[in-house]
Structure 1
Amino acid sequence: MTQFDPRRQPLRLAPHLLTTAAAIGIALLAGKPFAASEAQELPVLTPQQTAYLETQAYAAAAAPAGLNAPEAVPVQIRRGETFEQAVRRAGVRAEDASAVAATIASAFDLKDIRAGAKFETAVSRPRGGVGEARLIGLTMRTGPASQLTVSRSFDGALRLRSLDEKITHETVVARDKVQGSLSASARELGATSAVVRRASQLFAHKFDMQRDVRSADEFTLVFDRSVTESGRTIETGDLMYAELKGQVFYRFERPGTGKVEYFDSTGKNVRSTMMRTPLQNFRRVSSNYGYRTHPISGYRKMHQGMDFAASTGTPIVAPSDGVIVEARRWGGYGNWIRVRHANGLETGYGHLSRFAAGARAGQRVTQGQVIGYVGNTGNSTGPHLHYEMWRNGQRINPASVRTQEGTILAGTELAAFRAEKARIDRIIAAGGQSRPVVQNASSGLRPIES
């Protein structure tokens, strides 16, 4: 059996060479000779198709006698654990774990692997259930668009391959009608959770996202992203433009401030002093402000707030800038937060499952910042948010608050905004744009949330 030489440099194959190799492997497995002089031109395969064909070829040929076909076993490295120890937890022999670690180490410093990193092994188990499993292959991502794959060849030796996908930086114009929910519809068009969250916060200044937005309402989102050849989004930039039901929002950084804000087509800041609701994602208003029969006591009494039915863990955001004055356990309210805002307004939030990181008395919060998460603590019959509001110490109906719009640009700021608006409008008219291919995406983009 050929022994693996850890000093051997890894074989690096471009995606189009992998396509040819996969086709040759399939032809050999089928018992047909591969003759380059007589071969027809191969169709161009996507990276996903190439990976599938390779997987099938290796699965058909790599399982040693007496072992079942390889099965995928995902592994996540634990704190204080070495890469080799993590491989052993897949149930393979110590020799296999040591050999694959040495193979990977010839191309990648294993010291750079941190706890929480994931990789996938292909393991063949004995047909009779007796004996040790055999490691057939391992795939580990080493960068946003690169991965190392170790596979066992026909003679039993381990072979290392490196695949680097090209990355394209592009501006996406996602335009459609709402189907089910805005969040789900936007994700279908490639929007990430960060993009959807930002758009929802903007729309919340104008709409009640649960009651005002319906299926068939048209929306448009424009955002930057970096995408691999296989279509996987690895980084996103800020939301540049958002439109829903005729309401438009343009991203603009006012000269000299370094602060990103959103304005309508005339240059008016769309940021109102108070958002309509502290939740962008809830099922319904389960109880309004006013007299009702209490669901637990059975008595008719005043309900001094609004209840929003939502799933446990739904983020709660500050509807306006302010300071947290309470973040504690408070009787029937369970986990409770109270925030003081400008103009004598205060808001309260009850039954939280937990507080956001750093949420404590004295902390300043900005509009749209997550302060806690929906829960079912205290006297509660199910997961929901109890939302209260005070003006000058007197409880008021949160739905009755009318807020003012933000500032309007003028002078040189307005001229700069109009230039940026014209640029974004050209991108929308063109349906998006792509930048030159780069190997490492950067320029203000942020990694995708896992």
Structure 2
Amino acid sequence: MAQFDPRRQPMRLAPHMMTAVAALSVALFASRAYQPAQAEEVPTLSASQIAALEVQAFASANAPAGMTAPEAVPVQIRRGETFEQAVRRTGVAPEEASAIAATVANAFDLKDLRAGLRFETAIAKPRNGMGDARLIGLTMRTGPATQLTVSRSFDGALRLRSLEEKVSRETVVVKGDVERSLSASARELGATASIVSAASRLFATKFDMQRDVRASDEFTMVFDRDITEAGRTVNVGDLLYAELRGVTFYRFKPAGAKEAQFFDANGKNLRSSMMRTPLQSFRRVSSGFGVRTHPISGYRKMHQGTDFAAASGTPVVAPADGVVVEARRWGGYGNWLRIRHNNGLESGYGHLSRYATGLRAGQRVSQGQVVAYVGSTGASTGPHLHYELWRNGQRINPAGVRTQEGTELAGADLAAFRAEKSRIDRIIAAGGHKRPVVQQASAEGLRPAQG
């Protein structure tokens, strides 16, 4: 087959050589004749410059005779589809799709591909509209910082290149004032959704996030991330520090503990306190604890909980660690959930639209974990959350609950915490910290970046 020779070994080029090959391909497409090149020093380019150069080369290359100029065609692998079948959907001939798949397979096991993976192709089509299209180039990301590129040389042969970006780990300090909302302000400054969510859960143990947080309140978030030389975040670590209105949270793992916890500046554990509300976002408190006129029956009666007006589908979180007692339909409460906590406390949630996936009686839940979603089931006039608290079997006013916080660190744990606190404080003072290059973008303790 002219396009692909299985005896030909794939080439792995350094970034500056990739640039030279791309430039040479463009020239040869245009002239169809090889001109001896003078050896010269090629400057080292960044990964983003290399990618831009490849795109420019594909765009400016003359198409094969009788074909249109190449155009970008994005492809996403469908469920049950092979890589070769996905390539075939671009309009290329079956034998060409097979050759392309065989070329890529020289550097990547195509069995590892999953439905949903996307890659970019550059496709030239017959000018007369008759016959098969022709692949000019293909780029596929094979890892957080690696990608493969297939291009066609002047003689029609397929060439495979592999690019691996250097990845460094840095500690990021996001610091600013609340404007429209804490979440929006932090995201605009570079915090990811996972970091904002983790910080909000901590702040919710000290503040009513709807009524206590105001514009111009200062906040700080510190976290690790892995970033490529092109500036793209590929992994995000855990929240290390969070501060809002002078209240601070330091992440620290005591000796022998199963997981890290958060402590204040004096080493006092903040993990066991009860969150002020089970919602991080709601419109208003539509009905408080006490006697009221029932909106449906019209009678005055005791309202033994707090109603939060919120959009349907708003996540409901567990205000403290606990065990699910029941998750079922219960009369006028509609979809009902009850969780048992420490200190004789239980929490209840009514009118839910649905429960978190897999939630069931007997399941342990953690503080801040999403357990259900706001709805309007049962006797309800609109989307809202009915929230109740019991102490030793008696309903109590949720607004009046005060729970004991965790114990303070001592001895060796306190000394280690103070050292970690000092390290984080120095990073905040310096505005961040960049560490040496790491070998694996998917290093332990990090997760793929989120929006």
Superposition TM-score, scaled by structure 2 size: 0.86
Deviation sequence 1:351-401 (CA, Å, 0-9, x none): 333322331111122222222233444454554433222233333332222
SS at match of 1:12: coil
Superposition deviation, residue 30 in structure 1 = 9.6
Aligned in 2, Cα 1:172/1:332: closer, same or farther, shift over 3 Å? same
Q: Distance in 2 between matches of 1:297 and 1:87?
A: 63
| Unpaired stretches in structure 1, ≥5 consecutive residues | none
- Per the alignment, residue 403 of structure 1 pairs with 403
How does 1:89-168 map onto structure 2 within 5 Å?
89-125=89-125, 131-168=131-168
SS at match of 1:56: helix
Aligned in 2, Cα 1:427/1:299: closer, same or farther, shift over 3 Å? same
How does 1:116-265 map onto structure 2 within 5 Å?
116-125=116-125, 131-265=131-265
Aligned in 2, Cα 1:287/1:128: closer, same or farther, shift over 3 Å? farther
Aligned in 2, Cα 1:136/1:19: closer, same or farther, shift over 3 Å? closer
- Contact persistence 1:374–1:385 (CA under 8 A): yes
- Contact persistence 2:318–2:370 (CA under 8 A): yes
Aligned in 2, Cα 1:286/1:12: closer, same or farther, shift over 3 Å? farther
- Contact persistence 2:25–2:154 (CA under 8 A): no
Superposition deviation, residue 85 in structure 1 = 2.1
Aligned in 2, Cα 1:83/1:353: closer, same or farther, shift over 3 Å? farther
Q: Distance in 1 between matches of 2:22 and 2:213?
A: 48
Q: Distance in 2 between matches of 1:266 and 1:98?
A: 64
- Per the alignment, residue 268 of structure 1 pairs with 268
- Contact persistence 1:61–1:154 (CA under 8 A): no
Higher alpha-carbon deviation: 192-201 or 370-379: 370-379
Q: Distance in 1 between matches of 2:387 and 2:126?
A: 59
Higher alpha-carbon deviation: 292-301 or 419-428: 292-301
- Per the alignment, residue 314 of structure 2 pairs with 314
Superposition deviation, residue 246 in structure 1 = 0.6
Superposition TM-score, scaled by structure 1 size: 0.86
- Contact persistence 2:333–2:351 (CA under 8 A): yes
- Contact persistence 1:68–1:126 (CA under 8 A): no
| Unpaired stretches in structure 2, ≥5 consecutive residues | none
Aligned in 2, Cα 1:288/1:135: closer, same or farther, shift over 3 Å? farther
Higher alpha-carbon deviation: 377-386 or 411-420: 377-386
Q: Distance in 2 between matches of 1:28 and 1:287?
A: 75
SS at match of 1:404: coil
SS at match of 1:349: strand
Superposition deviation, residue 58 in structure 1 = 0.3
Aligned in 2, Cα 1:364/1:40: closer, same or farther, shift over 3 Å? closer
Q: Distance in 1 between matches of 2:308 and 2:94?
A: 55
Q: Distance in 2 between matches of 1:95 and 1:288?
A: 70
Amino acid at match of 1:227: I
- Contact persistence 1:104–1:150 (CA under 8 A): yes
* 1:279 aligns to 2:279 (yes or no): yes
- Contact persistence 2:29–2:62 (CA under 8 A): no
Q: Distance in 1 between matches of 2:220 and 2:407?
A: 24
Amino acid at match of 1:51: A
SS at match of 2:61: helix
Higher alpha-carbon deviation: 439-448 or 250-259: 439-448
Amino acid at match of 1:145: A
Aligned in 2, Cα 1:101/1:443: closer, same or farther, shift over 3 Å? closer
SS at match of 1:353: strand
Aligned in 2, Cα 1:376/1:91: closer, same or farther, shift over 3 Å? farther
- Per the alignment, residue 86 of structure 1 pairs with 86
Amino acid at match of 2:368: G
- Contact persistence 2:75–2:87 (CA under 8 A): no
- Contact persistence 2:58–2:122 (CA under 8 A): no
Superposition deviation, residue 325 in structure 1 = 0.9
Task: Say how many residue pairs are matched.
Answer: 447
Superposition deviation, residue 230 in structure 1 = 1.6
Q: Distance in 1 between matches of 2:341 and 2:424?
A: 34
Task: State the percentage of identical aligned residues.
Answer: 68
Superposition deviation, residue 434 in structure 1 = 1.9
Q: Distance in 1 between matches of 2:149 and 2:302?
A: 65
Q: Distance in 1 between matches of 2:90 and 2:307?
A: 47
Q: Distance in 1 between matches of 2:188 and 2:7?
A: 45
Q: Distance in 1 between matches of 2:157 and 2:395?
A: 75
Higher alpha-carbon deviation: 307-316 or 269-278: 307-316
- Contact persistence 2:28–2:154 (CA under 8 A): no
- Per the alignment, residue 394 of structure 2 pairs with 394
SS at match of 1:107: coil
Superposition deviation, residue 132 in structure 1 = 4.3
